[in-house]
Amino acid sequence: MFSCENLLFEEEPANDPIGNFESLWTTFSERYAVFEQRGVDWDALYDQYRPMITPQTSNQELFDVITALLSHLDDAHVSLMADGQVFWNGFSEFREKTKDSLFNLWAIPNNYVSGNFVNIKDQFFYGNVGEDIGYLFVRHLAGEEPQFIDQFISEMQDKRGIILDLRHNGGGDFRNGEHIASRFTTQQTLAFSGKPKSGPGPSDYEESTDYYLQAGGPTQFTKSVVVLTDIYTVSAGENLVLYLRTLPHVTVMGDRTTGAMGERIEKEMPNGWVYSITGQIITAADGNIYEGPGIPPDVFVLNTKEELAAGKDRMLELAIAKIKE
Amino acid sequence: MKIILYHLTLTCWLTLGFIQLAAQSSFFTNEKYPKNGLEIQFGWHWIQNQDLVYSPLIYKGSSITSLALQYERFSKKGIHQIAIGFDQSEAEAGALITFTEFGQSFSRKPGHTRGVRLHYGYAHLVKSSDLFQLYFGGILEAQINVNTYNFGWSDDNGYLLSHSLQPWLLAQYQADAKNRLSFEISFPLLSYLARPTYAIVDNHEIQHEGSDLSYVYQNGEWASLDSHQALGFSLVWDRRLSNTAAFQVGYDLSYTRYSQPLPISILKNKFNLGLSFIF
């Protein structure tokens, strides 16, 4: 009367090493949306890794095997939070950080900004570079709707261009990116489409939903805009790039982005560990899927450590030159 | 998704209040003349729920948070009943982990479950004797259960919103002048339910599809008996205190299972104490 779990509920996966591995592998198999885009044969990886798990596998060994398995996806929206462990991210560059030192926000106000460098909640920073070019850095897109943007756009109306710096942008809320992008257009344009996984089969996806950018706010800025990206521009930051790159007055410069645009969805294992998957395919307005390879810039340019240490941000300087053309 | 659930929960709270259905009849329904009955109850409940859209694990929790309000209108031929109910508790599926990120330690928090239920029912007297009354009728019920899962970076809110038409059987046995035992059972025959989709993607909201109750209803569907099973069961002992009041001790069980897009199962066991009045 009081429980009858076996009769009233679905069978829970076993909370032992094999049960935990099987639960994670099966959920990925049924719910992860971008195996094909990432060139991964998930069934073959099962055959490779499952034999490593036995009833005697320790928690550390289980963690090591699972992270080795997930590393094949090389997906920033794949992660593992295990008891007593450091948060593990599935994108190799996020772990190895080989290009992390090629961007230094403070090199910009120290060497390029004239006048005030406004700090909004340590999330948005803006000012003027050169004589008549606006600059806006967006650290991430989480949290509340960015109300400051309309004042920023208003202040920039007399500038010949704006540099929108999305380097090292950590993502967040898609809607905040749309909110910002809407201030850079006066027309409606298709930005991207999304197809969430709708069932356990490899071909089970919902119909595509189109996402449009349309004008927002009291004023918009439609003069020259350069968007700066690097390999750490991720998730909602990449969606913001997809919104903006469709606009004729926008040029994207820098490095390719992370390549993790589909929705990040968290799941749990029987032992309480939490992992995340990508549950959606995003297709850009140009018909390409940049999940995995990342969004390529219109102009490819990288900083060097030596130049940055000397206060020179090559990517920013090229953006300034582009606006002055 | 969070905004949907915030609006939904707030709407339910403001509209429906803080009360929980116990579906327990008044002690005085066998009186000769039509009467009004009012029951106020509170209780301890134990809940188990499993929502495969979010987790394969069964979440369990208990608390003393149930408040109940029920109004009945009696006639020679039957009973009209309006009831409203609420329950909530923390819920866990197992040990909670602690992990490190950016040099800081983070721990998972327990989940949370809340339920609000509103019903209108009418049962017709089909058999009556000095010791025994049997009623048969129907219930129109609206119910929402909201389960919050606290994972690592986010808290995800799952919900099951249902509207159902149910046959309702009520039996009362008068043991003596002061004691009565009541039994009720109901189950849905026709239901309209709304659930999250297979993959939760927040950017539906970007296209301004809405984030309130209307959005939830738009994404609901009629359920077949194959996809939706539920049962409501109640056993109550009434102890008469005076001509106008009675003390109640009761047990309620409710179970619901819906299999689209993935199975969700919710089982609630409730033990209630209450007072009923007629006027």
pLDDT for residue B7: 52
Environment class of residue B212 by beta-carbon count within 10 Å: exposed (0-12), middle (13-18) or buried (19+)? middle
Environment class of residue A121 by beta-carbon count within 10 Å: exposed (0-12), middle (13-18) or buried (19+)? exposed
CA B105 to CA B107: how far, in whole Å? 7
- Residues of chain A positioned with their CB less than 8 A from the CB of B199: 31, 33, 196-198, 206, 263, 265, 279-280
Domains of chain B and any CATH numbers: 2-91+100-278 (2.40.128.90)
Nearest CA in chain A to B95: A272
CA A120 to CA A255: how far, in whole Å? 26
CATH of the domain at A68: 3.30.750.44
**Is A218 found in the same domain as A112?**
yes
pLDDT tens per residue, range B62-104: 999 888 899 999 888 999 999 999 999 999 998 889 999 888 8
pLDDT for residue B19: 36
pLDDT for residue B213: 66
**ipTM of the shown complex:** 0.89
**Is A294 found in the same domain as A198?**
yes
Instruction: Give A112 to chain B, closest Cα distance, Å.
Output: 30
Number of structural domains chain A divides into:
2
- Residues of chain B positioned with their CB less than 8 A from the CB of A85: 99-100
CA A235 to CA A90: how far, in whole Å? 13
Q: Are B47 and B91 in contact (CB under 8 A)?
A: yes
pLDDT for residue B17: 35
Instruction: Give B279 to chain A, closest Cα distance, Å.
Output: 36
Q: Which of A175, A207, A268, A271 to mutate to test the interface with B (most CBs of B within 10 A)?
A: A268
Q: pLDDT-based confidence at B203, cuts 50/70/90?
A: low
Whether residue A274 lies inside any domain: the answer is no
What are the CA-CA distances from residue A198 to residues A260, B58, B191 (Å)? Answer: 19, 23, 23
List the single range of A232-236, B78-82, B100-104, B245-249 with lowest mean pLDDT: B100-104
Among residues A96, A118, A152, the one where a domain terminates is: A96
- State the count of interchain CB pairs (< 8 A) between A and B: 135
DSSP structure string for chain B: -HHHHHHHHHHHHHHH-S--------TTTT-SS--EEEEEEEEEEEEEEEETTT-SSPEEEEEEEEEEEEEEEE-SSEEEEEEEEEEEEEEBSSPPPEEEETTEEEE---EEEEEEEEEEEEEEEEEE-SSEEEEEEEEEEEEEEEEEEE-SS-EEEEEEEEEEEEEEEEEEEE-SSSEEEEEEEE--SEEEEE---SS--GGGGGGT--SSHHHHHHTEEEE-TTTEEEEEEEEEEEEE-SSSEEEEEEEEEEEEEE-SSS-EEEEEEEEEEEEEEE-
pLDDT tens per residue, range A258-274: 999 999 999 999 999 99
Nearest CA in chain A to B259: A10
* pLDDT value at A133 more than 50: yes
Whether residue A234 lies inside any domain: the answer is yes
* CB contact (8 A) between residue A270 and residue B204: no
pLDDT for residue A260: 97
Residue span of the structural domain in which A316 resides: 100-261+280-324
Average pLDDT in the B136-165 region? Answer: 92
Mean pLDDT of chain A: 95
**Is A151 found in the same domain as A54?**
no
**Is A148 found in the same domain as A106?**
yes
Mean pLDDT of chain B: 85
Among residues A51, A81, A96, the one where a domain terminates is: A96
pLDDT for residue A188: 96
Partner residue opposite B199 with nearest CB, options A81, A274, A280: A280
**Is A154 found in the same domain as A243?**
yes
Partner residue opposite B50 with nearest CB, options A9, A81, A194: A9
pLDDT tens per residue, range A306-323: 999 999 999 999 999 999
